[in-house]
Structure formats: C-alpha cells, structure tokens
Structure 1
Amino acid sequence: MTLPKPNTTPPKKALVISNIAQVASESDKFRRVLFTGKHSQLVIMTVPVGGEIGEETHTVDQHLYFVSGTAEVITDGKNKDDIGPGAHVIIPAGTLHNFINTGPTPLIVSTVYAPAEHKANTVHDSLEQGEKLEEAGKDDPPTWAKA
C-alpha cells in the first residue's frame, strides 16, 4: 500500500483511505501527517517499544485511535488507564497527557487534531526530532488551517 501524499494547500476534494490501520502499520515514522484540512488534521504515529508520545498539552482537541500495541494513558499527570487496540481516546484542548508504550510491539496510532497542530507535510523520525522542530517553530500548521 502506498502512503497518501499529504496536501500542502487547502484541500479541494475528499481523501479516502480504505484501511487506516494498514496505512498506519506501514509507516515506520514516529509522526506522519496524512491530511490537513481547514478545521482538522489526520496524523499517524508509531511509538517504539518502551517509547512514549511525550507529556504535552495542546491548544487543540485531539482524538486518538489505537490500531495496535498497548499503552498507559496518563492525563493531568495523575489519571492512568491501560488501553489496547480499538481504544479511542479524546483529549480536550488544555489537557496534560502522555501515552507510554507498555507492550512488546510498536504502538500504532491514528490521531485527529482539530484544528491542525503540525505543518502539513510533517514527518518526524523520532519524538526527539519532533520536539526539536516544534521548539524551533518549524512545525507550525499552515495559516489556512488555523480555524
């Protein structure tokens, strides 16, 4: 399966992804943007064994669908839940959160930010690379996607 090429201008047509689980499973990158709309953004993530998404707070809402693997979800620094494949977690804007891979396989996630959180063609090889680019202001969403 070929990964969809991310749009870098406002979308003019629908994007159909027949099997998001398969697409997400075939990406070996920590973070990869697949689609950026004016009001949302679709991203897939692969968190290595023993890795994490990193404790963070967004100014946007985030919906995460867990394709494979197991994780511990930590919200507000204290609330902890164990999740696995098929789990859907919604993180409202302003909520401190982290997802830690607790299983023997990569944690594969499909996530939607509303509105967009990342540059339209973002691909991060690792958490560290993503954090460095974000801190340097090189991973901001396009102005047309800031609802």
Structure 2
Amino acid sequence: MAQPKPFVVDIEKETLDNEIFRTALWTGEHFQVTVINIPVGGDVGHEVQNKEDQFLRLESVRGRVEMGPSEDEVTFTEEVSADWAVIVPKGTWHNIINIGDAPMKLYSIYAPPHHTHGTVHQTQADDVD
C-alpha cells in the first residue's frame, strides 16, 4: 500500500450523505475509517474481527447492538441512537440492527485496517473481503 495522504472530512456530513452499504474513506497503516448505510430492518451482519478493535458512531436513527463471545452466544444487548458510540473489542461477535424508521447512518474506525484500501460495498451482499 502506498503511503496514505493526509485527509480532512466533515465526517457527519459524509456519513449522512452516504447512500451505499459501506465505503472505506481512508486507510492508513494503523487504522481505517468507513461510512455505512443500513436500510430499515437491516443490519451490519453478525461478524467478528479477530485482528481489529472497532469503534462505531451512529449519526441517525435507532439501533440494537448485540455482542457476545461466540456466534451463537449473545451476552450483551443495548439500544442505541444518534450520537451514540459502540466499542467492539477484537474477537467479539457483534451486530447492529436498524430498528428505526429510516436508513441508519454510521461510521466505523477499525484498528488496524480491516478492508482493502478503496473498498466500496454497494450492498451488504458485496461484503466479501
């Protein structure tokens, strides 16, 4: 990967204006920033990152966060809304479900980076990396 360039963005505007599932906005050596759009009733997808810690911040609507030590064991559930942050330690299975009445807009910071630089997932089904 080439040396990342400095990057400045109005993260709230970029997140709220995002109309596709996920875009990697910036990728550095130690962390990555993505914006995510989840349709009503949709979710991020039950997943685990075994190398990355993750920070997520909701910019709109309400969601339900589910986390646990394995794919089949949810030990933590919390309802969140705009301006809330979710911290996911590496190795923790997690999902965020949109329980609001409009698309959920959020951004995520992975440390270290999780997606290939420049990744764009038009839909959740495109999330194969």
Tell me the TM-score normalized by structure 2: 0.91
**Which of residues 80, 87, 92 is equivalent to 1:95?**
92
**Which of residues 64, 67, 71 is equivalent to 2:59?**
67
5 Å-filtered alignment, 1:77-92, equals: 77-92=74-89
Asked whether the equivalents of residues 46 and 108 of structure 1 are also in contact (C-alpha less than 8 Å), the reply is yes
CA distance in 1, matches of 2:110, 2:3: 16
Asked whether the equivalents of residues 18 and 105 of structure 2 are also in contact (C-alpha less than 8 Å), the reply is no
Unpaired stretches in structure 1, ≥5 consecutive residues: 1-7, 140-147
CA distance in 2, matches of 1:9, 1:34: 15
2:20 is matched with 29
What is the aligned length? 123
Shift of 1:26: 1.2
For 2:87, the aligned partner's letter is I
Asked whether the equivalents of residues 10 and 36 of structure 1 are also in contact (C-alpha less than 8 Å), the reply is no
Q: After superposition, give the CA deviation of every residue in 1:73-123 in whole Å (9 maximum; x if it has no partner).
A: 001123110000010111010001000000001110110000000011111
Structure number having the greater helix percentage: 1
**Which of residues 7, 16, 21 is equivalent to 1:15?**
7
Shift of 1:125: 1.3
1:123 aligns with 2:115: no
1:142 is matched with none
Unpaired stretches in structure 2, ≥5 consecutive residues: 69-73
Structure number having the greater strand percentage: 2
For 2:32, the aligned partner's letter is Q
Asked which structure has the greater RCO (Cα within 8 Å, sep 6+), the reply is: 2
Q: Percent identity?
A: 33
CA distance in 2, matches of 1:127, 1:46: 9
1:105 is matched with 102
